[in-house]
Amino acid sequence: MITTSIFGAFPKTNRLSILKLNFSKAAAGALADVCNLNVVSSPFPPIIDAVHYKPVPEFVSAEWVNPKIAKKVAIRDGSTGETRTFLDYNTHMHNIASALRFEYLLKPSDTVALFSPNNVDYLPVSLAVAMCGSKLTPLNPLYTAQEVLTILDRSSSKILFTHAKLLSVALEAAMKSKSVDHIVVMPDVEQNHDIPFGTVNFENLAQYNHFPNLDTSVEEVHDHVKDVNSHPWLLPYSSGTTGLPKGVCLSHGNMISNLLQLDEVEGMVFPMDHKLISPLPFFHIYGFLASLLYCGWRGQELITMSGRFCLENFCKLVEDNRPERAHLVPPIILGLAKHPVVDTYDLSSMKMILSAAAPLGKDTEAAVRKRLNTEVKQAWGMSELSPLGTVNSDYNAKSGSIGQLVSSSYGKIVDTDTGISLGPNQTGELVIKGPQVMMGYLNEPDKTAECISKDGWLRTGDLAYFDEDGYFYITDRIKELIKVRGFPVAPAELEELLLTNEYVQDVAVIQVPDEAAGELPRAYIVRKENADPKEVTEQYLKEWVKERVAPPKRLDGGVVFIDQIPKSASGKILRRLLREEAKKEFE
């Protein structure tokens, strides 16, 4: 639905004032308040304000002891064969929360980091932290020790949960950390690992049953002290529209709102007896909320993979377990469309594939639909939206579209220079308002003000348009974030790393297109005068970076040596000019 204005048009004096302020960096978010014409509203039923709900742990686990689902498999790890029932979920959540609260004195102001591949106890650990009123920051299991250290210190994490397979990296980071007091080691069922002296065995927390027990979330989270909209829980790190990764503060209310918004679209078509397969990493908020948290709340079996993704293993899991739905990203969907191994398995149980985290081309969408006789639809979101912003329903999905706004949300397309909101089929920046919009960036009020306006509009950094039916289409990104197989890579982070190389004078990093990965990082390098071009080659720098970063951050888009990095008069890197040159090259 498109309205001329849902909040009333701004007086001309206000509009002029905001336009003038827009030229200052601190007022960048105010651009979204300039004009409220052509506002699009959600076609889905509104949700009840999350302030009326209990904290996330009680909300999600309300039915876990119900005899109808208590002994049902909640999660199945297709890589290891491990399972947990909903009763296991409930028991482990309460035991871990009690141990954290009473043995390790975890306070509501503290943060816990979770550094693990997908794991059958990922949700109980996450909810246990929430019961203590503390913040949880999930970490990419592919991170190097330096990358882990950066997030530990920025989030001031007091406790680090890590999987035994990642222990050496975790220990190296924790030893240098200024904040970590305890390391909890989660077991590797495929191989026995010794738990080093000074670390905590996860099993001791999962089996903790001493008095007192933490039966409900601490009072700081409950609405008689503070409502669930004002208490933070999840703290994923995102680069937002620009710059280095920032802690995205998501409240209990944000996450409950997004669960309810997702359920308005999925609830009727995804009954409790259906299964979902999702190899998506749980540290990524798409996999965390849409797959892990949603299935936990709805009492549905989730099939996941803790090991490295393998298309053949995925197909075998579908054939053996017969899930009706799948949560995937475009590179996997591309494999389903083209790889010959797909024809050797029975994937007929899959009735719907949801694609998100990166754009999916119409041709690939059509190819998978035809080959597998399954439906494909797209959704869109970002960490700052908890993460869901738009989605297609099963009944009226439009190919190539990211769908319509989720319940109780409003969106508009604004001119990036004037802030004037545009009508249908006109491209500008997508801005969104709704109960799922983050609280803000951790300890960074200026960065928060740059992307959230006083009226609550979130600037997404995505260029888009909507059609006459209120369906949105992403065309490009204003923001500089690079999406590699759906994983966010911040150019500024790679530039900061490369500048520590003794032969690099200056650098700029942009994204270049890639059919399999979506995008890849490419570095434009100015060598120092003392650098020998025969030694400081593309291969040398690619290998140098590879040793220091997770795989998505590798310079697989190449290294280009140039004489000067294009910059504005104020010294800001003009990545736009480099992207335009790269676009010509790929065309």
Tens of pLDDT, residues 150-160? 999 999 999 99
Q: What is the 3-state secondary structure (H, E, C) of 77-140?
A: ECCCCCEEEHHHHHHHHHHHHHHHHHCCCCCCCCEEEEECCCCCCHHHHHHHHHHCCCEEEEEC
Q: What is the pLDDT of residue 242?
A: 62
579/443 Cα distance (integer angstroms): 32
Residue ranges of the domains in the chain? 483-586
State pLDDT tens for residues 575-585.
Answer: 889 998 998 88
Provide the token pair at 32: 């979204």
Q: What is the pLDDT of residue 238?
A: 82
483-586 has which fold? GMP Synthetase; Chain A, domain 3 (3.30.300)
pLDDT exceeds cutoff 70 at 26: no
Q: What is the pLDDT of residue 571?
A: 65
Report, as an integer, the average pLDDT of 426-433. Answer: 95
State pLDDT tens for residues 292-301.
Answer: 999 999 999 9
Q: What is the pLDDT of residue 28?
A: 66
Residue 425 class from Cβ within 10 Å (0-12 exposed, 13-18 middle, 19+ buried)?
Answer: exposed
Average pLDDT of the residues of the chain: 91
- Assign residue 572 a region (left: φ > 0; alpha: ψ between -120 and 50; beta: otherwise): beta
Q: What is the pLDDT of residue 9?
A: 32
Q: For the chain, how big is the Rg over CA atoms in Å?
A: 24
The percent of residues in the chain predicted with pLDDT above 90, rounded, is 77
| 163 and 143 Cβ atoms separated by less than 8 Å | no
Q: What is the pLDDT of residue 211?
A: 86
Q: What is the DSSP letter of 291?
A: I
Confidence band for 361, pLDDT divided at 50, 70 and 90:
confident
pTM of the model: 0.87
Confidence band for 27, pLDDT divided at 50, 70 and 90:
low
53/64 Cα distance (integer angstroms): 17
Q: What is the pLDDT of residue 535?
A: 95
Amino acid residing at 241: T
Amino acid residing at 538: E
522/261 Cα distance (integer angstroms): 37
Strands 518-527 and 559-561 come out as parallel
Provide the token pair at 416: 């990036």
Measured at the alpha carbon of residue 109, what is the angle toward residues 106 and 110, in degrees to the nearest 5? 50
Report, as an integer, the average pLDDT of 196-201. Answer: 94
Q: What is the pLDDT of residue 1?
A: 53
Q: What is the pLDDT of residue 339?
A: 93
Confidence band for 471, pLDDT divided at 50, 70 and 90:
very high
Provide the token pair at 356: 């998100």
pLDDT exceeds cutoff 50 at 363: yes
First and final C-alpha spacing in the chain: 37
State pLDDT tens for residues 159-184.
Answer: 999 999 999 999 999 999 999 999 99
Q: Is 462 helix (H, G, I), strand (E, B) or coil?
A: strand
Q: What is the pLDDT of residue 240?
A: 63
Q: Check residues 436 and 575 and name the one with the higher pLDDT.
A: 436
Confidence band for 198, pLDDT divided at 50, 70 and 90:
very high
182: phi then psi, degrees, rounded to nearest 5: -140, 145
State pLDDT tens for residues 380-389.
Answer: 999 999 999 9
405/413 Cα distance (integer angstroms): 13
Q: What is the pLDDT of residue 191?
A: 87
| 513 and 482 Cβ atoms separated by less than 8 Å | no
- CA 229, 32, 429, 422 dihedral sign is positive
The percent of residues in the chain predicted with pLDDT above 70, rounded, is 93
State pLDDT tens for residues 230-262.
Answer: 899 999 998 665 667 899 999 999 999 999 999
Measured at the alpha carbon of residue 66, what is the angle toward residues 60 and 72, in degrees to the nearest 5? 85
390/402 Cα distance (integer angstroms): 6
Q: What is the pLDDT of residue 546?
A: 96
Total residue length of the chain: 587
Q: What is the pLDDT of residue 112?
A: 98
Q: What DSSP string describes 36-92?
A: -SSEEE-SSPPPPPGGGS--HHHHHHTTTT-TTTTTSEEEEETTT--EEEHHHHHHH
Q: What is the pLDDT of residue 14?
A: 27
Cα–chain center distance at 33: 26
| 347 and 321 Cβ atoms separated by less than 8 Å | no
| 372 and 324 Cβ atoms separated by less than 8 Å | no
pLDDT exceeds cutoff 80 at 127: yes
131/214 Cα distance (integer angstroms): 8
Cis peptide bond N-terminal to 488, omega within 30: no
Q: What is the pLDDT of residue 316?
A: 98
Measured at the alpha carbon of residue 70, what is the angle toward residues 69 and 71, in degrees to the nearest 5? 95
Q: What is the pLDDT of residue 220?
A: 85
Q: Check residues 25 and 30 and name the one with the higher pLDDT.
A: 30
Confidence band for 61, pLDDT divided at 50, 70 and 90:
very high
The closest alpha carbon to 437, from 416, 409, 405, belongs to 409
